[in-house]
Amino acid sequence: MKYNELQVSASKDKKRVGRGISAGQGKTAGRGTKGQGARTGKKLGATFQGGQRTLVRAVPKARGFKSLRTPAQVVYLDTLAAFKGKTVDNFALYEAGFIATPFHTVKVITRGELTVPVILQVAGASKSAVEAIVKAGGSFVKTPVPVPESAKKAEAADKK
């Protein structure tokens, strides 16, 4: 007889405990001797720790709301003076070192004054910042956040 010719079934019969000494699981039926686990009736919960306060009760509940949205990168108005008369977008701010990545939302907030005109093309700006940009002779155009090249190619492939 060969190993691959053995006649075996995939399903095993249920172990019948407490059916006498010769059955192999007689007397205590695998429960050991004495103690709470050996008794009938009360089943121990999954978090039971022998009467000690459970870890589930010890750890405080996480209340409130945790947003998964990444917060906007903040750029202050007075830093835009470095871009005198130029167009300012996510990539220009990234190259100048004002933001960590060009692929996240950028918001311009008022701090200090802006005296040079700039064309601002980012996702957001405060009302006072927009007023200051227009007053300095520039303009603000709300533009969507740029998507990395690889993601753009994947989206184009999905549409086809």
- How confident is the model over 50-92, as pLDDT tens digits? 889 999 899 988 888 888 888 999 999 999 999 988 999 999 9
**What are the tokens at 112?**
């200090």
Give the model's confidence band at 2: pLDDT under 50 very low, under 70 low, under 90 confident, else very high.
very high
8 A C-beta contact, residue 107 and residue 99: no
Does 11 have pLDDT greater than 80?
Answer: yes
On whether residue 60 sits in a domain, the answer given is no
On whether residue 49 sits in a domain, the answer given is no
Mean pLDDT comparison of 8-17, 28-37, 108-117, highest-scoring range: 108-117
- Provide the domain limits for residue 109: 73-147
Question: What pLDDT, on a 0 to 100 scale, did the predictor assign at position 49?
Answer: 87
The CA distances from residue 55 to 42, 59, 60, 152, in Å, are 21, 6, 10, 46
Does 155 have pLDDT greater than 90?
Answer: no
8 A C-beta contact, residue 74 and residue 107: yes
Does 152 have pLDDT greater than 70?
Answer: no
Does 42 have pLDDT greater than 80?
Answer: no
On whether residue 121 sits in a domain, the answer given is yes
pTM reported for the whole predicted model: 0.56
- Give how many domains the chain has, as a whole number: 1
| Average pLDDT across the chain, whole number | 89
Q: Specify the CATH number for the domain of residue 133.
A: 3.100.10.10
DSSP string, 59-120: SPP--S----SPPPEEEEGGGGGGGTTSEEEHHHHHHHTSSS-TTS-EEEE--S---S--EE
* pLDDT tens figures, 99-115: 999 999 999 999 999 99
Does 151 have pLDDT greater than 90?
Answer: no
Does 46 have pLDDT greater than 80?
Answer: yes
Does 48 have pLDDT greater than 90?
Answer: no
pLDDT above 90 covers what percent of the chain? Answer: 50
Does 36 have pLDDT greater than 90?
Answer: no
